Chain A
Amino acid sequence: MRVYLHSRTWFIYFIMVIAILMSIRHPVLILIGLESGLIWWKILGRKLRAGHVFAALFILGALAVANPLTSSNGATILFYLNGRAFTAEALAYGLLFGAVLVVTLLWCVILSELMTTDRWLNVCGRRFRKTGLVLTMVFRFFPLFTKQWQRIREGQEALEGGSPVGWKETFRMTKRELLCMLTWSLEHGFVTADAMLARGYGAAKRSFFNRENYRSASVGVAILLLAAFSTVITIAVRGGMEAEIYPYVKIHMDAAIDILGFAAFFLLCHIPMISYKVLREERRMRS
């Protein structure tokens, strides 16, 4: 079955997941976020490399150590460092915070991969059509810019007979490359502006080419997602799914209400995956 989801459904999906991850810091939610994030990673055809894992562990480790160094909250003192207490609770808080950061980053990568320009355009919609246009032009310009920089670097290297040696040389060269890029960007901008004028830019009030309709599946999924989201939020506001850190670490996760909250978040994260076939096809058509 191929399920098409509307861009705005995708948009609220990401907003909701990331908002929950960042506002309700609970280990179980983070684990669910990590698990579903990794499934998305796989669906989107990305490979998990050792570098990614190291980066994640580094963030986690750095925050876990940094927090107790700056905060002495917590009752379980492990040792003293320069007269300051290094507590197990502060360590746990750092770990939790690091985990939230890692999982949020993971979701941001998924968001940037899934929210292609046409999705952003549809999110911006008729009302923000100019913003949409600027966005799509930026998306076009960015890869061009990097490519051109690479070319300039090669051109200068070939002219100078080698890459710059030492930081002074490198600095001088980078300055020159930047100047070169500036002229190129201006020139590029002028020609593009002419091309836009030639195709009637500014001749009338711009219309918006809407390629998407709200299909029933999309609306249904959006309703389910909103229901799951409100469940999680309501439970959290009512004091469920609480992870107390200070003064003692106490993680609530076995009450029926907590389990209901986890289940709702689990559903929230996983429901849009039913559209994986469509996404796969979309990726194939793009390149």
Chain B
Amino acid sequence: MIQVENVSFTYAGAARPSLSDISLHVAPGQFVLLCGPTGCGKSTLLRMLKPELTPAGERSGRVLFNGNEIGANDRLPKIGFVMQNPEQQVVTDRVWHELAFGLENLGVPSDVIRRRCAEIAAYFDLEKSFEKDTNALSGGEKQQLVVAATMIMGCKVLLLDEPTSQLDPIAANRFFLWLEQLRREFGITIIMAEHHLEEIFGEADRVVYMERGRIRAQGTPAQVAWEMLTVRDAFAAALPTVTRLFFDAKTRKTPFVSLREAKGAPDYAQMVDEAKKTLTSASGRDAFVSRENGKRAEDPAVTLSDVVFAYDDRSPSILNNLSFSIPAGACTAIVGGNGSGKTTLLKVIAGLATLKKRDGKVKFFGEKQADRQRISFLMQDVTTLFTEETVYEEIVAGVKEKVEQGGEGFIEAFLKEQGFEALTAHLSQHPYDLSGGEQQMLGLTKLLLRDPQILLLDEPTKGMDAVAKESLAKLITEKTKSGVTVVLVTHDLDFAALCADYAAMLFRGEILSMERADRFFADNVFYTTHKNRALNA
């Protein structure tokens, strides 16, 4: 269906090629997963397959679609392309118009559009939301709408560029399941670049692992997993938990790629025992290691009592008589479903002006007034912090004196200390040109330079690959050791288990339970880490 032959590509003005000598054959109906660390060329490769979106630059080699070479000026509506941010991809303000948009572009007559819209709305279960405002949809629904609006054009190939990076893990899973169903029923070819591999790795027909613009390995999921695990690649951290947990190079040549597969193995019980033993002996933070050094400080950093908050008089309250305290010098993870009030809770602690009208008390270290300069808040959309032209200026903004005192090379040293060396190479770029994970790092750098006492993080792992996540977890652990209080709101339970000392469950605006993180995740059946799921026989 799609053939890529010896394609190399250099962006206009760039010194190094972004793709070198890529060859790839995709058969009809295949699901190909492109993975690799941030900046490995996944997105660029996808854009080579969609001529409308191919960036300016120098390309060599050939790309063929159904045996015909794709020219630079071709228009191929039969190849669909879905990007990261659903918000920015929705063009019109109503669901029905979004569906019709592509067909209108192709000049399809009204009667045909009417029929196709009806058909696709019925299939994708959009009948109820057909008349809705697109703004009324959730992120996951918007992304599904974008795919439906692409599929309506009768596309045979669907290219997806990290389609779930802006979704929470639950919405992301739902999206993957839905995509899988689509593939099974229509036999469309899917090529997806993704770094959340936990759920989909085993579903792929073929995995292509890229690094620095080259294909490092390709084959079945098990083959690629074997490759990555045996060479102890840093990116192996992105592999599904079962794959890593039960991997033993000596006894097993084909790693497990899904939980179902592992549970079906005859020696599953034995493997679990083995894995538990290794985990207990291993040092480091893990949901299964009981951490006796869990320190409970005398004075909690933040105490909330009977906090009630609603955005206005007519809407229901988001926080309901919420009372709990956040231990100082520790990382507290707050988990809970969408709309449970997690972000609102952080905003209340940060004391944002829009949330001034609340009932109840918030105390900081026993005091009513907090030094707000020392409470730092990393919001979900980190780009809201960026006002400057370059990454360097962005870092310096607001902390000029500190940087001047630090002298030459202060920023580079600071970045290194935080484990954000990746940013050093991008200091002269525009903040918007960074990848999602790098933007998060930049936002965090800005906050950390202000020397916070309390650090509020809202979904900090959004858009980060496995390697970046691990270094962030390490950073959080170090910060708490040096006395910083971290409040972490996340859907990413595996990440929370990596770095949180305490975990609290927020449900309908109330904190239901707050426990030590290890106990919390070991006790929960559904709301738990992938590791616990794999080990609970």
Residues of chain A whose beta carbon lies under 8 Å from any beta carbon of chain B: 117-118, 121, 129, 133, 136-137, 139-140, 143-144, 148, 150-152, 154-163, 176, 179-180, 183-184, 187-188, 191-192, 194-211, 282, 285-287
Contact = CB atoms under 8 A, between A and B. Distances in A.
B352 A157 contact: yes
9 contacts: A155-B385, A161-B375, A194-B83, A195-B91, A200-B153, A204-B105, A204-B106, A207-B113, A209-B117
Interface in B351-389: 351-354, 371-377, 379, 381, 383-387
Given A140-B93, A154-B384, A158-B352, A210 B379 contact: no
Given A191-B88, A191-B89, A118 B446 contact: no
Contact of A159 (B93, B130, B146, B398): B398
Contacts of A192: 88-89, 91
B241 interface: no
B135 A285 contact: no
Given A160-B398, A161-B373, A209-B100, A203 B379 contact: no
B372 A208 contact: no
Contacts of B383: 184, 187
A211 B113 CA distance: 9
B347 interface: yes
B398 A205 contact: no
A287 B92 CA distance: 16
Given A118-B94, A144-B135, A154-B354, A200 B384 contact: no
Contacts of B97: 117-118, 121, 136, 209
B392 interface: no
A191 B352 CA distance: 30
Interface in B90-145: 90-94, 96-97, 100-110, 113-114, 117, 130-136
B75 interface: yes
Report the interface size class on chain B: 35 or more
Contacts of A157: 352-353
State the 9 A-B residue pairs at the shortest beta-carbon distance, nearest first: A155-B384, A158-B377, A140-B93, A161-B373, A191-B88, A204-B107, A161-B372, A195-B89, A198-B81
Given A137-B92, A143-B135, A207-B113, A198 B52 contact: yes
Given A200-B75, A200-B77, A200-B153, 6 more contacts: A159-B450, A161-B375, A197-B53, A199-B101, A201-B105, A287-B133
B477 to A, nearest CB: 23
A282 to B, nearest CB: 7
A195 B353 contact: no
B480 to A, nearest CB: 20
B432 interface: yes
B149 interface: yes
B531 to A, nearest CB: 33
Contacts of B450: 159
A206 B108 CA distance: 8
B114 A209 contact: yes
A208 B104 contact: yes
Given A118-B97, A209-B100, A286-B131, A154 B347 contact: yes
B265 to A, nearest CB: 42
A43 B75 CA distance: 48
B50 interface: yes
A163 B351 CA distance: 10
Nearest to A186: B432
A285 B132 contact: yes
B94 A158 contact: no
Contacts of B109: 207
B191 to A, nearest CB: 14
Contacts of B92: 117, 133, 136-137, 140
A209 B353 CA distance: 45
A148 B85 CA distance: 14
A209 B113 contact: yes
B221 interface: no
